Amino acid sequence: MLSGVTKRETTALSRVGTSLLDLALPEDCAGCGAPGEACCRPCRAAFDVPRPVASCGPTYSLARHAGVARALVVAHKERGRRGLTRPLGRALAAAVPHLPAARPDATGTWWLVPAPSRPSAARARGGSHVLALARACAAALSEAELPAAVAPALRLTMGARDAVGLDRVQRRANLAGRLRIRATGAPPPGVPVVLLDDVVTTGATLAASRAALREAGIEPCAALTLTAA
């Protein structure tokens, strides 16, 4: 181990190195291993039309959290495959205008709010992967002449632990009192927003996000995720 460098810093340096290699070398598809790009055309097709997720309010996902779709989401989130940000963001953008409950604001702008990450997890990953997805989604919408803005309005305070393995009740307890509005990242009061996340499991994070936004006078009209577990 490098002298004076913590395990967290070593992990962060490793992720930076991986990202630089991704930029310098041709990537293999994270879904099937085909050479040439981070996500090949057949694997991009794993993300289909948005379908409602039961018991999660007005929430929609593009695929089940299985097979190719799961491999792509996990590679982006846990393995630092940032070459996937653009194609995954474009998959979200293709669905946003077609969500039954979603709509732009009075000026025609689509407001996107990324689900928050634990601060420690975001640091280890070199930044919030969901925020990166939201920005890629907004860029793709803008390319399609649909004005879009990203509002990183939500933050998790210290104390929230990794939700892997927690059931719905435990996840809600884990988030209780720990999800706040970031005033500098909030959209104008009253505008409709679309919540974005990579995967929905129990819906606890989206439910807490909706509650925090509503308390701040912001209307979460729909939520969209890449996959649903």
- 8 or 132, higher pLDDT: 132
pLDDT of residue 62: 98
**Main-chain dihedrals φ then ψ at residue 42, nearest 5 degrees:** -60, -40
Rounded distance between C-alpha atoms, residue 212 and residue 220, angstroms: 10
pLDDT of residue 137: 98
At 61-114, the pLDDT tens digits run 999 999 999 999 999 999 999 999 999 999 999 999 999 989 999 999 999 999
Q: Are 228 and 206 in contact (CB under 8 A)?
A: no
Mean pLDDT across the stretch 170-189? Answer: 75
Helix (H, G, I), strand (E, B) or coil at 80: coil
Rounded distance between C-alpha atoms, residue 81 and residue 202, angstroms: 25
- Nearest Cα neighbor of 56 from 173, 219, 214, 199 is 199
Reply yes or no on whether the pLDDT at 170 is more than 70. no
pLDDT of residue 98: 96
Reply yes or no on whether the pLDDT at 18 is more than 70. no
Taking CA atoms, 197 is separated from 18, 129, 130, in Å, by 23, 9, 6
pTM: 0.83
Strand-pair partners of 78:
none
At 192-219, the pLDDT tens digits run 999 999 999 988 889 999 999 999 999 9
pLDDT of residue 204: 87
Residue 91 neighbours by CB under 8 Å, 6+ apart: 44, 47, 62, 226
At 137-155, the pLDDT tens digits run 999 999 999 999 999 999 8
pLDDT of residue 175: 60
Burial code (b: 16+ CB inside 10 Å, e: under 16) for 6-17 equals: eeeeeebeebee
Specify the fold of 44-228.
Rossmann fold (3.40.50)
Instruction: Name the pLDDT band for 180 (thresholds 50, 70, 90).
Output: confident
At 27-68, the pLDDT tens digits run 899 999 999 999 999 999 999 999 999 878 899 999 999 999
Q: Are 40 and 34 in contact (CB under 8 A)?
A: yes
Rounded distance between C-alpha atoms, residue 164 and residue 167, angstroms: 9
Copy the structure tokens of residue 144.
Answer: 């399609």
Mean pLDDT across the stretch 156-167? Answer: 61
Mean pLDDT across the stretch 20-25? Answer: 54
Q: What's the 3-state SS for 153-180?
A: CEEECCCCCCCCCCCHHHHHHHHCCCEE
* Top mean-pLDDT range of 14-23, 39-48, 158-167: 39-48
Copy the structure tokens of residue 224.
Answer: 């969209």
Residue 175 neighbours by CB under 8 Å, 6+ apart: 156, 160, 204, 205, 208
pLDDT of residue 157: 74
Reply yes or no on whether the pLDDT at 166 is more than 90. no
Taking CA atoms, 188 is separated from 174, 182, 227, in Å, by 28, 12, 29
